[in-house]
């Protein structure tokens, strides 16, 4: 991956909180001394090239009074697309991915996070996914959160 100095400056800054204003990239342009349009163009370029997957907020569901869980499912290889489409059809799903663990004692290969307005709705949606797929969904709710701050040095 070859990035210019401007891209590196932008990526470094994007790892911190974006200003909660109507034009956050204008605020960044003042801070970084880079034109707002240039920042937006460079971000679009980095997304198109796959250097950046997406820009999105990280929402604290519990602070908003919502419930959330990490869930796991053992999905047969020939049903991956079908089951992921079902799971992804729920608005509360923020992540859904395959993970092939090295530990043979963990049979789950599809993992997703789901949030809902309350515990009842959350469990109802998980049960609905089980009914629609015929597969068992294992809910793994957070018992204690260990938050870390990660900032990558962009070369």
Q: What is the predicted pLDDT for the residue at 103?
A: 66
* 112 class by beta-carbon count within 10 Å (0-12 exposed, 13-18 middle, 19+ buried): buried
Task: List the strands of the sheet with 110-116, edge to edge.
Answer: 93-98, 110-116, 67-73, 137-140
Residue with tokens 């869980």: 69
Q: Distance (Å, rounded) from C-alpha 155 to C-alpha 140?
A: 37
Q: What is the predicted pLDDT for the residue at 155?
A: 67
Q: What is the predicted pLDDT for the residue at 99?
A: 87
Q: Distance (Å, rounded) from C-alpha 126 to C-alpha 136?
A: 9
> What fold does the segment set 67-140 form as a domain?
Alpha-Beta Plaits (3.30.70)
Q: Give me the tens of pLDDT residue by residue for the chain, a chain 155 residues long.
A: 577 899 999 999 988 888 889 999 999 999 999 999 999 999 999 999 988 888 887 777 888 889 999 999 999 999 999 999 999 999 999 889 998 766 667 789 999 999 999 999 999 999 999 999 999 999 999 888 887 666 777 76
Q: Distance (Å, rounded) from C-alpha 126 to C-alpha 114?
A: 9
What are the structural domain ranges in the chain?
5-48, 67-140
């Amino acid at each position: 991956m070859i990035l210019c100095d401007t891209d590196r400056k932008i990526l470094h800054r994007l790892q911190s909180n974006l200003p909660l204003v109507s034009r956050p990239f204008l605020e960044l342009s003042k801070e970084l001394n880079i034109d707002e349009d240039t920042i937006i163009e460079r971000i679009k370029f980095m997304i198109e090239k796959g250097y950046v997957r997406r820009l999105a907020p990280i929402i604290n569901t519990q602070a908003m009074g919502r419930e959330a869980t990490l869930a796991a499912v053992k999905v047969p290889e020939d049903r991956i697309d079908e089951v992921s489409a079902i799971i992804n059809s729920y608005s509360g799903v923020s992540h859904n991915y395959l993970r092939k663990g090295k530990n043979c004692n963990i049979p789950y290969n599809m993992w997703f996070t789901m949030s809902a307005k309350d515990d009842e709705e959350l469990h109802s949606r998980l049960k609905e996914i089980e009914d629609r797929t015929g597969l068992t969904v294992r809910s793994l709710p957070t018992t204690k959160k260990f938050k870390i701050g990660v900032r990558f040095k962009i070369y």
